[in-house]
Structure 1
Amino acid sequence: MNPFASTLILLTVFLGTMLILITSHWLMVWIGFEMNMLAMIPILMNKPNPRAMEAATKYFLMQATASMLLMAAITINLMYSGEWVIMNVHNSMSSIIITVAMMMKLGMAPFHFWVPEVTQGTSLPSGMLLLTWQKIAPISVLYQIAPLINLNVMMTAALLSILIGGWGGLNQTQLRKIMAYSSIAHLGWMTAIMMYNPDIAILNLLIYILMTLSMFMMLSNNSTTTTLSLSYLSSKTPLITIALLIILLSMGGLPPLSGFMPKWMIIQELTKNNMVMLPTFMAMMALLNLYFYLRLTYSTTLTMFPSSNNMKMMWQFQSKKYTKLISPLIILSTMILPLTPIMLTLT
């Protein structure tokens, strides 16, 4: 892609999200989502092929439907209240429609079908942008209208997302699809706590973005897209393989690692609000995610792919690729659990 065009497109994606974050006017929120959607389509088609075109088409159809629902909800709210302010959603129907529109934009269950297909159909950098930056704007809208959201709709979607995010990734061998189902499950945890403590949801989003960025950077560094190609990493890049193992366990939420922090805080907060069964079910369904993360760690680090002795020493002769920011991202993705008391005081 032309450097000028790619810079302009990325700037539009950035400005669309920033517009949603700083505005308090519903019309500007809708314009921000439209800017974001239209600039994201050429990014998904960066390497033109039938799969990329299919992914871009699916993304456009789903996001356009969500934008249409959002505009319908804004219009209904304007008819009843005469206001464009985000915090003033006076009609229950418009509140439910806005929530559904944000769920569609995020790719939460039961509107999750497009996320694995779109992520699989595009390149690793585009998939990384889709699963990280594109989640910020809808989550910020849900954060602002959190006191006005219908509890039953949000909790049902959160539980379904955690279940489907774990269940869908069990039988996958494509790493981009696995990361997409992981995203669906993490969004379920974020939205489950959104009604009770939105600050914890934002913390969960930040930690999820750190872990996903680290994961995609390491996969892009080695051009790895399947579990089969993942099994060669121990002979190509031993240190990256160990880091990959730790980040996968962190994404699963195992205790000594960073990924355990948001799950711990969410379960604690839900229990404080006299909800015991809900976090119990969420923790049990999170084991499905942990299973396919462990399956990836098993194929990556706990087994050695059958190869000759020359292949096992390939890392000594391969040209070194240095990815910027990968070291601090790995540290933040795995070692910030001791900061939990500080985070609890901030939330």
Structure 2
Amino acid sequence: MVFPLSYTLFFFCLILGIFISISSPSWFSIWIGLELNMLSFIPLITIKMNFYFSESALKYFLIQALGSTLFILSSCMLLSFPQMSPPLLLTSLFLKLGSAPFHFWFPQVMSGLIWPQAIILMTLQKIPPMILISYLSMNSNLIQIISFSAILSAIIGALGGLNTMQLRKILAFSSINHMSWMLISISISDTFWTFYFLFYSMISLSIVVLFNILQTYTLSDLMKFNQTNSIHSLLIPFNLLSLGGLPPLAGFIPKWMLIQLLINNKFFFTLFFLLSSTLITLYFYLRITIFFLLLTNPSMSIYKKSNSSPFSLISNSFLFSNLFMFFIPTMFLFF
């Protein structure tokens, strides 16, 4: 898809809003950055003016406007009501982030986006709320609220993806599930979540790039495509399993390290829910993978001549990269 030149300006403003919100010294300037980020993303959603894009843009605007209202209200209450303001501030960030129990809008908005918009919502739009939540995690009274949201996100993210055929909704619920791991990591270490987020973003980007190349939005589209292509028939299942955290793929690395941290800090109750939800997400990824591999045409060869355009070569090398990142020196896994 060819994007108008004006969308480059909106994307630049979106990035600028992120930097303003994460580097500002006051809550008011943080709010300005969040508003700039939101108002820059809405034109990116409405690149095609049809019912689905307009509905997604309206839902996103209403939810983010409600979150911004709660954010600025709780910021103004910090001095007058120091006990009540931080939980309300955290609630507004959960709403903007799409974390449970305020997750209801995230899959609905995702289902109306094209893949370039979806990856922005899954990655870049999570950065400001996550960093602000890491600031609030210094308040020990909020750790229990963050842990509760993480456990609920793990359960909902795992169960929500079981009965859907839309790839965008599957990735949306997977994103909610991954948010649970990042929120728990915030309660233990205010910096480890960035490591997890980088792995999650890289793997998600590789999957979205592949789906965007193929223009597939449902499982049925994916199965039809599998009958006529070769190299992508290996890339799709391996990337999905990597996103699910199956060892020894790249997605297992941050989960393995976080499991070690949770055990060392005796977060056994939380770890039980995280591991249980991961098994459920792996189940529906394995279900897709098994059907995908069983429907592969035996006559196809991965050595067939493929598209050698620069974009195809770059995307394929990027897609392969996350499969081999597990072979990082072991010393980095036990710090």
On whether the aligned pair clears a TM of 0.5, the verdict is: yes
> Is residue 158–residue 174 contact of structure 2 (8 Å, CA) maintained in 1?
yes
Which residue pairs with 2:118 in the alignment?
A: 127
Q: 1:64 to 1:324 in 2, by over 3 A?
A: farther
Q: 1:78 to 1:335 in 2, by over 3 A?
A: farther
> Is residue 155–residue 273 contact of structure 2 (8 Å, CA) maintained in 1?
no
1:212 and 2:204 equivalent? Answer: yes
Q: Distance in 1 between matches of 2:247 and 2:331?
A: 15
Which residue pairs with 1:291 in the alignment?
A: 283
Q: 1:92 to 1:238 in 2, by over 3 A?
A: farther
Q: 1:104 to 1:324 in 2, by over 3 A?
A: farther
Which residue pairs with 2:325 in the alignment?
A: 336
Q: Distance in 1 between matches of 2:137 and 2:247?
A: 29
Q: Which one of 164, 184, 190 corresponds to residue 198 of structure 1?
A: 190
Q: 1:72 to 1:277 in 2, by over 3 A?
A: same
Once the 2 structures are TM-superposed, how far is the Cα of residue 42 of structure 1 from its aligned partner?
1.2
The total of aligned residue pairs comes to 331
1:43 and 2:32 equivalent? Answer: no
Q: Distance in 1 between matches of 2:3 and 2:326?
A: 42
1:102 and 2:63 equivalent? Answer: no
Q: Distance in 2 between matches of 1:41 and 1:20?
A: 18
Which residue pairs with 1:172 in the alignment?
A: 164
Which residue pairs with 2:270 in the alignment?
A: 278
Q: Distance in 2 between matches of 1:236 and 1:92?
A: 60
Once the 2 structures are TM-superposed, how far is the Cα of residue 10 of structure 1 from its aligned partner?
0.7
Q: Distance in 2 between matches of 1:255 and 1:156?
A: 27
> Is residue 210–residue 332 contact of structure 1 (8 Å, CA) maintained in 2?
no
Once the 2 structures are TM-superposed, how far is the Cα of residue 13 of structure 1 from its aligned partner?
0.6
1:51-75 alpha-carbon deviations (Å, 9 max, x no partner): 1111111100111111111111110
Q: Distance in 1 between matches of 2:287 and 2:192?
A: 29
Q: Which amino acid aligns with 1:127?
A: A
Once the 2 structures are TM-superposed, how far is the Cα of residue 334 of structure 1 from its aligned partner?
2.4
Which residue pairs with 1:224 in the alignment?
A: 216
Provide the TM-score with structure 2 as the length reference.
Answer: 0.92
For the aligned residue pairs, the C-alpha RMSD in angstroms reads 2.4
> Is residue 13–residue 39 contact of structure 1 (8 Å, CA) maintained in 2?
yes
Which residue pairs with 1:188 in the alignment?
A: 180
1:156 and 2:156 equivalent? Answer: no
> Is residue 165–residue 184 contact of structure 1 (8 Å, CA) maintained in 2?
yes
> Is residue 158–residue 281 contact of structure 2 (8 Å, CA) maintained in 1?
yes
